[in-house]
Amino acid sequence: MTTKTTKQSIVNAYLKMWPREVLDLRNGSQLLPEVWNPLQKPGVYVLYRDDHPYYIGRATKLSSRIHAHANRPKDKYYNFWNFFSAFIVNDVQHIPEVEGILIAAFPTENSAQPRFKKLAIPAKVARMVHSQRLITVTK
């Protein structure tokens, strides 16, 4: 008898480059469920200034956190972003790691540092690249 194992994904879904304005869209007095329902889950979000990642954060309820960034003028990031992406992470244990990967991958305003080791380019490799560039430039 063979048992089928199911692979659990760390990221269950994502939304990419939604404009900030979707957070204010209403049907009467109700915010649009098409916007809010996907954001009722935990995960990691990216605030963008135009098409550049500006800030990466995490939340147990993405809607509350992103809405706070968009609607509280005293929020540190209030004036500096116009798009957002979000990654739905159902197992909250994985949220810090996903956030750390994104912070490590993109230059942002984050002061937080990933909790894993950063590897620098070895000096020998850096010298080889530098000398290769000099050869290319002088040709």
Per-residue confidence of the chain (139 residues) as pLDDT tens digits? 555 555 688 999 999 999 999 988 888 778 888 888 899 999 999 999 999 999 999 999 999 999 999 999 999 999 999 999 999 998 999 999 999 999 999 988 887 777 778 878 889 888 888 888 776 656 5
97: number of Cβ within 10 Å = 15
Determine the pLDDT at residue 102.
94
Cβ–Cβ < 8 Å for 35, 23: yes
Determine the pLDDT at residue 97.
93
Determine the pLDDT at residue 139.
57
What domains are there in the chain, each with its CATH number?
13-138 (3.40.1440.10)
Determine the pLDDT at residue 85.
97
- Give residue 70's Cα distance to chain centre: 16
Determine the pLDDT at residue 43.
97
42: number of Cβ within 10 Å = 18
Determine the pLDDT at residue 118.
81
What is the largest distance, in Å, between two alpha-carbon atoms of the chain? 67
Burial class (CB in 10 A: 0-12, 13-18, 19+), 36: middle
Determine the pLDDT at residue 42.
97
Q: How far apart are the first and last CA of the chain?
A: 66
Residue 86, CB half-sphere, CA atoms under 13 Å: how many?
A: 25
DSSP for 40-90, written as a single string = GS-EEEEEEETTEEEEEEEESSHHHHHHHHHH-TTSTTTTS-SEEEEEE-S
Determine the pLDDT at residue 137.
59
